[in-house]
Structure 1
Amino acid sequence: MDETVIGVDVGGSNTRAMLATLDGEVRAVAGAGAGNPVSVGAAEAARNVLDACFGVLENEPAAAVRAVAMGCAGGSASSEFGRLVLGGLADAGVRGPVELRPDLEAAFSSGTAEPDGYGLIAGTGATGGQVKGNRLLRCVGGAGWLLGDEGGGFWLGREAVRAAVADTDGSGPTTKLTDQIIGVLDCTRERDPLLNAVYERPPIWLASLAPIVTAAAVCGDPVSLSIVDNAARALALLLESLHPETGQPVVLIGGVVSAGSPVADRLAVRLAAAGLVSTLVQSGAPGATWLALLEARPDAGADVHARLVAPRT
């Protein structure tokens, strides 16, 4: 019976789990719904995380799991969410240690086997951090939609609605964003109906408009281009506030900086001008698995990490 580890990327939209041997051979991957207790509540989040874990254990013995690492944005081992997750895994027969770690640690380790460097998550929100010895040493941003997260998906959506409102009342330039947003909201092209339709939705809904902004920017809409430029500037400043050292890895993750995003393109230019080269990753699950593997096998090298992060077919 091969000893294994589990890594979990616990996200606000979905959860991804990976099971691998101590040599980095990936045996199983599985997904489930949102795992952030802040977004969906502790019970539902824990249920989804456990579903993902049980998915990778479907054909593998739970007793062989040496360690579990979870990259989480909204939970800790001492929270109700943490207690539910740890209890569920123990009931399933997992005897190895289970650790809930910052999602930025998992994201960073998906992009490099190095223990030190910098990471940036730009999804619904925006968070930057310095990693030292595979542990988050310092975090910047991530204050949430009410207090910050400039450059993240929520911020992009909010700026889009502000631009649309200014277009409808004549206080700002015309923009393609207005008709796009009105189409989504199914309201008339007037200021008050637009505002009323927006306020009828939960605040986090604004993040769903981020793809509209980036698509309009690609099509050359001047207002959208300005929003995208400002997003890239805000994300670059977030990283720069950590005073990154040239030569250390910088790992990016999140829909706002995904491949082909105009925000990602502009951010890469800004980072290159600062002497920084970034790596884009799609999931924190391989990184979380690497962190779990290091708990069970501290001598694991870059060759093991490479097998974990290799593209899956």
Structure 2
Amino acid sequence: MALYLCVDCGGSKTAAAIANESGEIIGRAFGGPSNFAYLGIEAFSSSVAAAVRNALKSCTSPPSQEPVSLPPTSVTFAAAWFGISGVDSPAAVAAITPVISKLLGIPAGPRLVVANDTHLLAAPVRLHPRVSCAVAVIGGTGSICVSFRETNGVLEELGRIGGWGWILGDEGGGFHVGREAIRQLLLEHDKASVTGKPPPDSSLRTRIMSHFSVTDFMEILTLIHLPERTHSAPSDTDRSPHVSIPREKRLSSLSPMVFDAAFKEKDPLAISVLQTCSDILANEVAVLLYDEKNPQPRAVKASESIISFGGSLVGVASYRDMILDSLARKGHVFHAVEFVGDAAAVGAIGLAAAEPV
């Protein structure tokens, strides 16, 4: 039985989906984080192998409990498509392709596609016969925007912006939202020191102070900047359980609080935070789009393209609408809007639907 495998490798998890020749998803499974830029090859391979093995087990009903070897012996992967966060250059593709090829038993070549995870989001362009271009926007743990053109069934990457990681970018993603929330709260606190008036009431401030277990908001600065605890560090330096959390996650973990405060409680400060983040992400998308005042040869026209979103943050419709509204104010209205909640499944179905290699 020929199977079609797609693996979506992200900063939070690995998602594997397997389709049969009819384009039916018959196997699903998940593994640990697999951002190639953050992990070594060994950790990356471990997460991918676990996801693929468990996906193969789930292809039977009931799911098999027997160990599965890789490369598989009883089935054949007709094709595989890997969308990997952190794979941002030809050198990275060249480094990881032999590892995946050996793992699956698929020779490097047309049957094995290895690319950045945004490529999976461009697949819906095939569902819209009137357009040939797509802009893929990932907004989850991190963020990245990439534009594509489909020609004869092949996706050509035209331009990209972002995907630089939490230290250098990830605008509109979880880290940026958490960072912007703290920045705006600190700014209100500093203004109050001049005006002599307390900052406006904010459910977001209450949530964040409770999260960090502080009574003075300025104490949060210390907790955010403390070095991460190591096993050899003296216990008396552990002023908070938060020091055992990687510093970027101390901020990115705040994003669910911001979204709840903004969209459930209508907290003005939380709404301001998300408006700021969505505007900056929209500015990045706009770099890929055609502007009559400054035309670029590889820019795409929004009116002739689809925009395809993927990721936990842009999975919230109200946040997507903020981004789209910001783009519309710049004169960019897309032909169609898609949200891909299951990139691995979309990719596997797309492989099965393609002409045999």
Q: TM-score range by the shorter chain?
A: 0.7 to 0.9
The structure whose residues are more often helix, as a share, is 1
**Count of residues in correspondence between the two structures:** 291
Checking the alignment, whether the CA contact within 8 Å between 1:142 and 1:149 is kept in structure 2 is: yes
| Displacement of 1:163 | 2.3
CA distance in 2, matches of 1:107, 1:157: 25
Residue from 283, 286, 295 that aligns with 1:240: 286
1:283 aligns with 2:337: no
Residue from 114, 121, 137 that aligns with 2:158: 137
Question: Larger deviation: 270-279 or 68-77?
Answer: 270-279
Q: Which has the larger radius of gyration?
A: 2
Structure 2: which amino acid aligns with 1:234?
I
* TM-score after normalising by structure 2: 0.73
Checking the alignment, whether the CA contact within 8 Å between 2:3 and 2:77 is kept in structure 1 is: yes
In structure 2, the CA distance between the partners of 1:112 and 1:257, relative to structure 1 (3 Å rule), is: farther
| Displacement of 1:130 | 0.8
1:109 aligns with 2:123: yes
Q: Describe the superposition over 1:266-290 as per-residue Cα deviations: whole angstroms up to 9, x where unpaired.
A: 2233445632131111122024325
| Displacement of 1:173 | 4.1
| Structure 2 runs not aligned, ≥5 long | 61-71, 227-244, 290-299
SS at match of 1:150: coil
SS at match of 1:68: strand
Q: Describe the superposition over 1:138-197 as per-residue Cα deviations: whole angstroms up to 9, x where unpaired.
A: 111222222222222111100111123334443594433222122212233241x21111
Q: Which residue of 2 aligns with 1:3?
A: 2
Which residues of 2 match residues 1-313 of structure 1 at below 5 A? 2-58=1-57, 59=59, 63-75=75-87, 76-79=92-95, 81-90=96-105, 94=106, 97-109=111-123, 112-113=126-127, 116-133=133-150, 134-169=155-190, 170=192, 173-174=199-200, 175-191=202-218, 193-200=219-226, 201-205=245-249, 206-218=251-263, 219-243=265-289, 244-245=300-301, 246-260=303-317, 262-271=318-327, 274-276=332-334, 277-290=336-349, 292-293=351-352, 297=356
In structure 2, the CA distance between the partners of 1:139 and 1:287, relative to structure 1 (3 Å rule), is: farther
Checking the alignment, whether the CA contact within 8 Å between 1:110 and 1:284 is kept in structure 2 is: no
CA distance in 2, matches of 1:188, 1:162: 18
Structure 2: which amino acid aligns with 1:187?
V
In structure 2, the CA distance between the partners of 1:195 and 1:112, relative to structure 1 (3 Å rule), is: farther
In structure 2, the CA distance between the partners of 1:296 and 1:12, relative to structure 1 (3 Å rule), is: farther
Structure 2: which amino acid aligns with 1:78?
A
In structure 2, the CA distance between the partners of 1:190 and 1:117, relative to structure 1 (3 Å rule), is: closer
SS at match of 1:105: helix
SS at match of 1:184: helix
In structure 2, the CA distance between the partners of 1:57 and 1:296, relative to structure 1 (3 Å rule), is: farther
Checking the alignment, whether the CA contact within 8 Å between 2:24 and 2:349 is kept in structure 1 is: no
Q: Which residue of 2 aligns with 1:308?
A: none
